Structure 1
Amino acid sequence: MPIDPQAFPAYRPETTLLDLGDPFFDPVAAADFPCTQLRFRNDRAAAQVGLATLDDDEWTRHFGRFAPLPDTLPGPLALRYHGHQFRNYNPDLGDGRGFTFAQMRDDRGRLMDLGTKGSGQTPWSRAGDGRLTLKGGVREILATEMLEALNVPTSRTLSLIETGEDLQRGDEPSPTRSAVMVRLSHSHVRIGTFQRLAYHRDEDALRRLVGYTLRNLFDEDGNGEGDDPVRLLALVVARTARLTARYMAAGFVHGVLNSDNINVTGESFDYGPWRFAPTWDPGFTAAYFDHQGLYAFGRQPEAIHWDVMQLAVSLRTIAESDPLIAALDGFGPAYQAEVGAAILWRLGVRPRNPDSDRALVQATERALRTSGAGIDRFFFDAFGGDLPAGYGPEWDEVRAALGDYAARKDRTHPYWSGTPCSLLIDEVESIWAPIADADDWSRLTAKVAAIRAMGDALA
């Protein structure tokens, strides 16, 4: 049975993407897969947009065969954008193996997109097959679940369906299994979306995109005229500074922080060669091809600031330089404030005052870096502000500072009686191995449950 909006009032479809018009997307068709076997459905996320009532057959029809959801977009749209990839500008980008096929409001009133990964070829596939490996889909489930639990703004993996094709890949054993994934995101408007319009000097479309973004993604008035570009840049600066800070507190390395991978809402998405750092090592990288360490753990603030700078450059097409520069200069102070808040949150203590908070955060970062302690182990042990015995003299400054802080939450949740929930690369591989070898999904199911338990304990 298809969704009936009257029977399920939590489902609130939208079509705002169509307001942008033809320069922003290309209508495409989903691939016709040999089979569709449901492997993962995120009912917690689905409930927030009124989709949890679908049975498995309906779910597969909408998210594996892409039967249109009612009263939203009439068909899939591959979005157009450009971007800097490892600081090299590429005008040949766009959704090459995905599309946006529905929009709706969530239970907070935010405009959300349903987008795909692995749904087939588009005009922007650049000779690629438009497919996603099953392993890539499993890795995206793990990344999004872990980041959500650690308070990082992130897309949600809504669905993963195996599609029955054998794929050839150069970076994993082939042939390998295929899948199509659906993500739930607060927009797919990227910095690269603005870059494309500036590249083509399409000032009218650029103003239209500024107005669309202010109205629909930030709940601000705007039509793209006057000071709208500057106001938008300031909002993106604040959101991306928050995202960067929470990456750092989570010990997360995205791996590919190109400007086409930076959502203007400050929500992380598109997880390829991601990793969690085992220790506070600024040089730790996630992508084997990041030979210069451009997107290493400690360089992520620089990388995202650089990407936001490209948004400012694009907006210079329709705005004056000085106010854009002033807005861009807010990134550093915003990041410092946000990283302090993020580390205090993970320590499980309430803020006191700016000077004390700054001193505690700096001492924590210094001790993590010099001691080589495990990031997840430390934050598990220190949660609530009481650092246990066994942490050596290099932690004395942190221990003394924590003594002045009140816990923001107690440790009565069952999670605290166990061991830290981590997600290092060896465990990711150990979760994938039984799926590859014996179609055994039990480790993935158990890990998602453990991650969500940690999230409940931290929330």
Structure 2
Amino acid sequence: MTEPVAPPALTAAAAYRPSPRILDLAGWLGDPVQAADFPQTTLRLRNDAAAAQVGLDGLDDAQWVAHFGRFAPLPGNLPQPLALRYHGHQFQVYNPDLGDGRGFLFAQLRDAQGRLLDLGTKGSGQTPWSRQGDGRLTLKGAMREALATEMLQALGVNTSRTFSVIETGEALWRGDEPSPTRSAVMVRLSHGHIRIGTFQRLLALEAADEMHALIDYCLTQFPGSAGPDGASPATRLLNQVVERLADLAAQWMVAGFVHGVLNTDNMNVSGESFDYGPWRWLPQWDAQFTAAYFDHQRLYAFGRQPQALHWNCGQLAVALRLVEQAPPLIAALGRFGELYQAAMARRWCWRLGVEPRGTEADSALIAVCEATMVQTGIGPDAFFFTHRGGRNATGPLAEALAAYHPVAGDHAYWSEPAPQTMLIDDVETIWAQIAEHDDWQPFHARLAAIRRMGQAHGPALPPAGVG
């Protein structure tokens, strides 16, 4: 057991730049809360690569646990964690009884480029928004999120990053896994925690002044494209979110990833994928594949993800009607389809390792690739690996790829016998070693292998709608 330690002074953090800008909105955006007092704090994962972005890689393990297991405030940052308030559509049914029920915003910092980043938690204890929940997180849930975020990042997806996982020593009871099970508290690093549901709450309260303030905060802290000439702040913001979420939908599709729960309270206006619950990767290319066992209508099936994100953008537009007229908002929503197709084209070529030729030609290539996967039963991970740079193609696929040139560069990963995957069986095998033997070696080995795959893919394409 790791015993609690006194809150340490921050050391060796020359690049640490606190920037708690959320405090300007805190009076109506959230509620100050306290973290749970956990029986133990055993460090299981510290993401030093992510920590280096915000000047926190110089913390020793005791300091790390004090800040991210006991939540001693970081110097110059939020004096107390903030549980954010929001509403949302859950499976397209409106719910005003939401908010951070087992997490909070812990700190805000700037990276070397001056972009704002948030440190937010999951499993950190009860808040005013916990309802009947215990505010806790299973260790398996934390492990699953770490695997998901590393895999998504390696596949070029704009995702939150799993910053820290600390086992907390409580026995939790859950209906969807053998109980009692082990517990953890997790910290995420992301570019924001403002959801579409945050705006929906302000609409429900008819809080126009707060809506203007939130729009200004998002435009300032998550800068993006200027939008149409003379566009109002609300219209500019909606155009940026449409650009980001159309691109995010394409990123998930190219990755063969199914998020599972695309509610408006899970949609970050910064355009990042986050909040991973019943996620899955496709074993085969199947538009009807559904991740959440409780999604009986397949509302968030793999092939319906673009539609779901477009629908969510529509709910943001409805909320912004509190301060803007309909026509410019409708025009912004109308851009989603074309933006999505363009993002699919460039991101498909990126993963396949070929130079793009333009949206029309690349869309035709995608159609042939999809048909090949459906006809042969090959999964997307194996397909992109086998045909990297246009290699090993036959029949219609060879014809479609004949006009494409492979990207420059090579990596030994592409000569390995099989690709990295993150199918449900992979996850269960890794978890079994932890649950039965407390053996973390397979988990850390898989993270290393995934990061190597990311290196093989090369630099990710920049996300759309981001300044």
- 1:407-432 deviation line (CA, Å, top 9, x unaligned): 12433334533420011001100000
User: Could you tell me how far apart the structure 2 residues matched to 1:355 and 1:303 are?
Assistant: 24
**102, 107, 112: which one pairs with 2:107?**
102
> Counterpart of 1:206?
211
1:157 shift after superposition: 0.2
TM-score (norm 2): 0.94
CA contact (8 A) 1:384 1:411 kept: no
Q: Are 2:258 and 1:246 equivalent residues in the alignment? A: no
SS of corresponding position for 1:256: coil
Matched letter for residue 321 of structure 2: R
> Counterpart of 2:271?
266
> Counterpart of 1:216?
221
TM-score (norm 1): 0.95
> Counterpart of 1:343?
348
SS of corresponding position for 2:157: coil
User: Could you tell me how far apart the structure 1 residues matched to 2:363 and 2:278 are?
Assistant: 32
SS of corresponding position for 1:12: coil
How do 1:143-222 and structure 2 match up within 5 A? 143-218=148-223
My pick for the range that moved more, 379-388 or 35-44, is: 379-388
User: Could you tell me how far apart the structure 1 residues matched to 2:68 and 2:236 are?
Assistant: 36
Could you tell me which runs of 5 or more consecutive residues in structure 1 were left unpaired when the two chains were aligned.
Answer: none
Count how many residue pairs are aligned between Structure 1 and Structure 2. 449
How do 1:316-395 and structure 2 match up within 5 A? 316-388=321-393
CA contact (8 A) 1:215 1:221 kept: no
1:137 shift after superposition: 0.3
User: Could you tell me how far apart the structure 2 residues matched to 1:443 and 1:76 are?
Assistant: 34
User: Could you tell me how far apart the structure 2 residues matched to 1:418 and 1:455 are?
Assistant: 17
CA contact (8 A) 2:413 2:453 kept: no
Matched letter for residue 99 of structure 2: G
CA contact (8 A) 2:192 2:268 kept: yes
- 1:8-41 deviation line (CA, Å, top 9, x unaligned): 3211110100111311000000000000000011
CA contact (8 A) 1:246 1:342 kept: yes
CA contact (8 A) 1:161 1:180 kept: yes
CA contact (8 A) 1:99 1:119 kept: yes
Matched letter for residue 173 of structure 1: P
**272, 293, 303: which one pairs with 1:298?**
303
> Counterpart of 2:61?
56
> Counterpart of 2:126?
121
Q: Are 2:1 and 1:2 equivalent residues in the alignment? A: no
SS of corresponding position for 1:34: coil
> Counterpart of 2:451?
452
CA contact (8 A) 2:16 2:55 kept: yes
User: Could you tell me how far apart the structure 2 residues matched to 1:376 and 1:22 are?
Assistant: 46
Q: Are 2:42 and 1:37 equivalent residues in the alignment? A: yes
> Counterpart of 2:462?
none
User: Could you tell me how far apart the structure 1 residues matched to 2:124 and 2:13 are?
Assistant: 27
User: Could you tell me how far apart the structure 2 residues matched to 1:398 and 1:442 are?
Assistant: 40
SS of corresponding position for 1:355: helix
User: Could you tell me how far apart the structure 2 residues matched to 1:107 and 1:219 are?
Assistant: 18
User: Could you tell me how far apart the structure 1 residues matched to 2:292 and 2:360 are?
Assistant: 36
> Counterpart of 2:416?
417
User: Could you tell me how far apart the structure 2 residues matched to 1:25 and 1:226 are?
Assistant: 29
CA RMSD of aligned residues (A): 1.5
1:314 shift after superposition: 0.3
Matched letter for residue 450 of structure 1: A
User: Could you tell me how far apart the structure 2 residues matched to 1:442 and 1:169 are?
Assistant: 26
User: Could you tell me how far apart the structure 1 residues matched to 2:152 and 2:276 are?
Assistant: 11
CA contact (8 A) 1:133 1:177 kept: yes
Matched letter for residue 416 of structure 2: S
Q: Are 2:319 and 1:314 equivalent residues in the alignment? A: yes
Q: Are 2:410 and 1:403 equivalent residues in the alignment? A: no
Matched letter for residue 45 of structure 2: F
> Counterpart of 1:138?
143
CA contact (8 A) 2:225 2:240 kept: no
1:221 shift after superposition: 8.5
Matched letter for residue 444 of structure 2: T
SS of corresponding position for 2:145: helix
1:226 shift after superposition: 6.9
CA contact (8 A) 2:226 2:236 kept: no
Matched letter for residue 318 of structure 2: V
- 1:138-195 deviation line (CA, Å, top 9, x unaligned): 0000000000000000000000000000001111111111000000011000000000
